[in-house]
Amino acid sequence: MLYCGAYADGYDGYNFDYERIGREMGRTGGAYSDFWKAEEIYFFYYNCLESKGDWEYEFNPIVNDVKLLVRMHHDFLDSVGNYAKDKALNIGDVIEITPDTLKTLFIESKIRLPSY
């Protein structure tokens, strides 16, 4: 779940913008702390492995799962964003979305099943 926000932000409904995602993972990006948390998890995991692979190899299944979640639920993510945008009146407004509203938005959204 650490990377979902960065990947969701970098997905236009068809393609992932890897440059944008990379910027989010960088020092000034919103997902910088997520990146370092994943690094901590990786180093713990790495120390437990008998056969050690590099970071890209070990985290590839996790990143692929994140991308799949974002692809499948893009409509829901857009619905939540649009709902919040419609509620915003001024910069800095606090917008709360109730669990019932989230559930309704989720039920009403389309889920894209993967085609392999």
In this predicted structure, the answer to whether residue 17 has a pLDDT above a threshold of 80 is: yes
What whole-number distance in Å separates Cα of residue 24 and Cα of residue 27? 8
The region that residue 13 occupies, defined by phi over 0 for left and psi between -120 and 50 for alpha, beta otherwise, is left
Q: What is the pLDDT of residue 2?
A: 66
CB 30 within 8 A of CB 5: yes
CA dihedral 68, 60, 47, 6 (to 10 degrees): -60
Percent of the chain with pLDDT over 90: 46
pTM listed for this prediction: 0.73
For 55-99, the pLDDT digits (tens) are 778 778 888 888 999 999 999 999 999 999 999 999 888 999 999
Percent of the chain with pLDDT over 70: 97
